[in-house]
Amino acid sequence: MKRRRFIQALAAAPAAPVLLAQQSQSSPAAAADNAEPAALELSVADEAADPAPRFFSARQFATLRRLCDLIVPGAQGSPGALEAHVPEFLDFLIGDSPIDRQQLWLTGLDALEHESQTRFRKPFADSDAAQADALLAPLRQPWTSDTPADPVARLLIAAKQDVRAAAFNSFERNLAASGGKIRRTGGGLYWLPLE
Amino acid sequence: MAAPNYDVLIIGSGASGGIAAFTLTKKGIKCLMLDAGPPIDFERNRVSRPVWELPYRGLGKPGRLEHVFQANEYNANQWVDEQQVPYTHDPNEPFNWVRVRFVGGKSLFWSRMSFRFSDYEFKGKDHDGFGDNWPVSLADLAPYYDQVEPIFRVRGRKEGLKQLPDGNFIEDTTSWSPAVQKFIAEAGKRDIPVTKIRSSLGRGPLASSLNLLLPDAMATGNLTIVPNAVVREITVDKNTGRVNGANFLDRHSRREMHAKAKVVVLGASCLESTRILLNSGLANSSGMLGHYLHDQFYITQSVQAVIPEVRDKTAPAGYASGAGYIPRFRNLQTRERDFLRGYAFDFNAGGTPDPKFFPLYGKALDEALETHRGSGFTGTCMGEVLPRFENHVRINKDVTDAWGIPVLHFQVRYGANELNMAKDAINTMAELCRACGWEVLARNNQPLPPGYSIHELGTCRMGDNPRTSVLNKWNQSWDIKNLFVVDGSSFVSGGSQNPTMTILALSMRASEYLAEQMRKGDI
C-alpha cells in the first residue's frame, strides 16, 4: 500500500523568499511568475524500500516472526503484526537498545527455539497452533510483579507488550482502522527538540 | 554600565521560586530570577503528529531517558536530557531523578494534586517517636495555605479530617458513581476515609508558576527573569561571609557570568538547590546537607480489579466512573506492628485493565479487552518514606555535566518500613475490592524506584538545632543569614500527600519573613 506524506511547498523554506526576491529584482517580468512553486509530494522510506533486518540471526528472526504472528494475529480488516512489519521494526528497535534489553531478546528467542526443538523436534517457526500454544504457556500464567527467571517467560512478557504496541501504533493498522482514509493530521502532541 | 546589584537573586522559576518572586516583588523588592531552562512556547515547541510517523512508533528511543518512566516518544524532549546532565548511582540502587528545565519548572507539568500537611507530619516525632519534628506546625503554615490555595484555585470538599486538613477550596459538588459509593461504604466499615481529589484548577490550560505567579510579579516592575542561566555556584563576599550573588553559564554559549544580589533565595528544586550548595561549599556546618533524602514510594496500578456488573453488562451506563482519594489512616489512633507512618491511595473506576494483566494473548486477549472495557478499578499507592541520614546525595567530582559542573551521586534505598507498608497497602486495597464483590485481576506490592514520584525532599532540612539541620524555621541558612532555600529540600518529613501546596506555603512564609527582615534592615 502506498504511504505518502505531503509537506509544505518549498516557499516555506527560509531561503526561498530571498531567492524569489532576487529573481524579481533582476527581471521585472518575472513578477507575474512569482506564484508559489507547486508542493512536492514526498514519501517516507517505508513505501519505497524494504526494511533490512540486521540484528537478529536468520533463525532468531524466523522465531520472532512466528511469535509476532501469535501475539497479534491478523484478521479480516485488521492487519496483524506481520502485515504491520513488526518483526522488522523490532529488529531495528532491539538492535538500537541497551545491552540488557538485547540480551533478554537474544537469549529468549534462542531458548524458545531450543524448547521447541526439544519438545517437538521442529523449529518454533514451523510449530502448529497447539504446539505454539504449549510453548507460550507462560503468557497464560496470572500476572506477577516478579521478573521470572526463565528466559522464555521473560521474553514472552516483553514481547507481549512490545509487539502489541508496535502493531497497534503501525501505519498499516491505523490505515485499516480508518477505512483506508487515514487522517494525516491529529495524533499526539510531539515535543520538538529544543535548540 | 555596571550590572545592577539586586535586592534578591532567586534561583529557579518553578513553584517555590515563583511564589518567592510573587511575594517579594509585591513588597517593592527588586528581584532577579535565573532559570537553567529556556522560556516555553507551547505553540512552537509542540506539533501534532500521528504515532506511526514517530521514528520508534511511540515506543521511544531506547535508553534515552532510562530513569524517566513518565517519558514517552511524544514528550521525550520535555525532560532534562540524562546525557546532558547526568548523575551517578550504584547500578543496584537506582534513583529516578526526573527533571524539567523550563521557565516555570516542574509546575508546568505537575499532577495538580493539592493537599495540606497535618501535624501528623509536622509533629511526627511527638506522635510516634521517630525522626524529628518540623520547627513549624500546621498553625504556622495555615495562613499561607489559605493564601496559595486560591491562587492555584484548589478544588476540593471539606471533610473535617485531622490527617488531611481542609483548605480554602472551590467546593467540589460532583457526586460519586454507584460503584464508588459501594467502595466508600466498604471502606467506611473499616474506618478508612475516602475523599474527593483535591486538585488545582489553575487558569486556562495551566496551573503553573508561569501563568499564576510570574505575570503578577512581573507586573510590579520589580522582577527581571533571565532564562538559560545555568548556575554553577553561589558566591560569597570574603569580607562579610555573606553570599553576594551567583556565577552562571549561558546555556547556549557557555559564557560565564556573575549576578550580584544582597540576598540569595534558592528554589531550583530539592536536588538542584542541594547540588548548587554542595558545589559552592556553603551552608553545611551541620554536615546534614544532602542527607535525609526521601520522597514517597509509588506503586501505580497497585491493585487491578474488575467490576463484574460492568463487564457482564448488568449495570446501567455510568455505574463505574470517577476518581477519589484515600488519605492516610494507619498509625493514627492505633499502632501497626511492622511499620511506622502511613500511606494514601488515589483510585479511579471505569477504565479498562491493562492488557498485561490478562493471562491471554492473541485473539483471546483482544476479546477479553473488549469484554472488560470500562469495568476496571485501580489505585496508585503513595507511601511515606522515612527520612534517614544514610539516604543521601553527594558531589561526584569525576563526572561533570555539559557545562562542566560536577554532578550528584545518589545513595538511596527503601527499607523494611517502606516494604512492609507497601504490603499492608496492597492487602488492604485488595480486601476492599473483594468486599465490594469485585474480582482482583492483579496486585503489585513492589514500589517503583526511589524518585519516581518526583517528590524528592529533605536534603536541606529545616530544624530547631543548627547542629542537626541546614535551615532554621524560616528556610534561612543557619550559617549564612542572607541565604534562603525555599523548595522541597527544606522538608523534615514527607507524609503521603503531594508536597506542592506545602512548598508554596513555606516559600511564601519565608519570603514574607525575608521582606520584613529587609525592611527592618536586619538583612
> How far is B458 from A149, CA to CA, in rounded Å?
37
CA distance B57 to chain A (A): 6
Q: Is B51 part of the contact surface with chain A (CB cutoff 8 Å)?
A: yes
Instruction: Give yes or no for a contact between B471 and B461, defined as CB atoms under 8 angstroms apart.
Output: yes
Binned at pLDDT 50, 70 and 90, residue A28 comes out as low
Residue A24 confidence (pLDDT) above 90: no
Max Cα separation, chain B?
Answer: 79
Q: Which residue has the higher pLDDT, B150 or B52?
A: B150
Residue B390, pLDDT score: 98
Report whether pLDDT(B332) > 80: yes
pLDDT digits (tens, 9 = 90+) for A128-169: 999 999 999 999 999 999 999 999 999 999 999 999 999 999
pLDDT at residue A6 in the model: 29
Q: Which residue in the block uniquely carries the three cell numbers 514500589?
A: B447
CB contact, 8 Å: A169 with chain B? yes
pLDDT digits (tens, 9 = 90+) for B181-195: 999 999 999 999 999
Average pLDDT, chain A: 82
Is residue A46 very low, low, confident or very high in pLDDT (cuts 50, 70, 90)? Answer: low
pLDDT digits (tens, 9 = 90+) for A61-97: 999 999 999 999 999 889 999 999 999 999 999 999 9
Among B54-58, B210-214, B415-419, the minimum mean pLDDT is found in B54-58
- For the record, the C-alpha cell of B479 comes out as 550559617
Question: What is the distance in angstroms between the Cα of A96 and the nearest Cα belonging to chain B?
Answer: 7
Cα–Cα distance, A85 to A92 (Å, whole number): 11
Distance from CA of B484 to the nearest CA of A (A): 31
Decide if pLDDT at A47 tops 70. no
A195 has pLDDT over 90: no
Q: A139 and chain B: CB distance < 8 Å anywhere?
A: yes
- pLDDT tops 50 at residue B360: yes
How much is the average pLDDT of B73-85?
95
Contact B62 A165 (CB under 8 A): no
Q: Which of B175, B111, B122, B172 is nearest to B145 (CA)?
A: B122
- Mean pLDDT (chain B) is 97
Under the banding of pLDDT at 50, 70 and 90, the label for residue A51 is confident
Residue type, B183: F
Q: How far apart are CA B375 and CA B153, in angstroms?
A: 32
Name residues whose C-beta falls within 8 Å of residue A16's C-beta, 6 or more positions apart in sequence: A10, A37
> Are B50 and A184 a contacting pair at CB < 8 A?
yes
B87 neighbors B400 (Cβ within 8 angstroms):
no
Task: Please tell me the total number of residues recorded for chain A in this structure.
Answer: 195
User: Closest Cα of chain B to A34: distance in Å?
Assistant: 29
Tell me the residues of chain A between 35 and 54 that have a Cβ less than 8 Å away from chain B. Answer: 44
Between A70, A169, A185, which is nearest B361 by CB?
Answer: A70
Residue A1, pLDDT above cutoff 60:
no
Cell of B224: 527581571
Beta carbons of A5 and B53 less than 8 Å apart:
yes
Cell of B120: 501528623
Burial of residue A135, with CB atoms counted within 10 A of its CB: 0-12 exposed, 13-18 middle, 19 or more buried: buried
Torsion angles phi and psi, residue B177, rounded to 5? -75, 160
Structure-block grid coordinates of residue A27: 527581471
Helix (H, G, I), strand (E, B) or coil at B305: strand
Whole-structure pTM value:
0.92
CB A169 within 8 A of CB A93: no
Q: A121 CB contacts (<8 Å, ≥6 apart)? A: none
Q: What percent of chain A lies above the pLDDT cut of 70?
A: 76
Strands across the sheet with B88-89, in order? B88-89, B406-411, B392-400
Burial A157-189 (b: 16+ CB within 10 A, else e): bebbebbbbbbbbbbbbbbbeeeeeeeeeebbe
Mean pLDDT within B110-136 = 98
Confidence band for B480, pLDDT divided at 50, 70 and 90 = very high
**pLDDT on residue A40:** 81
Residue B75: list chain A partners with CB under 8 A.
191
| Cβ–Cβ under 8 Å, residues B485 and B510 | no
Residue A191 CA to residue B264 CA, distance in Å, equals 33
As for the ipTM of the complex, it is 0.91
Is residue A193 over pLDDT 90? no
Of A72, A165, A189, the CB nearest to B48: A189
**Rounded mean pLDDT of B295-313?**
97
Q: What angle do CA B461, B463, B466 make, to 5 degrees?
A: 95
Which of A145, A152, A157 to substitute to test the interface with B, most B CBs within 10 Å?
A145
Write the CB contacts of A113 (distance below 8 Å, at least 6 apart in sequence).
Answer: A59, A60, A63, A123, A124
CA distance linking residue A85 with residue A87, whole number of Å: 6
Residue A3 pLDDT: 38
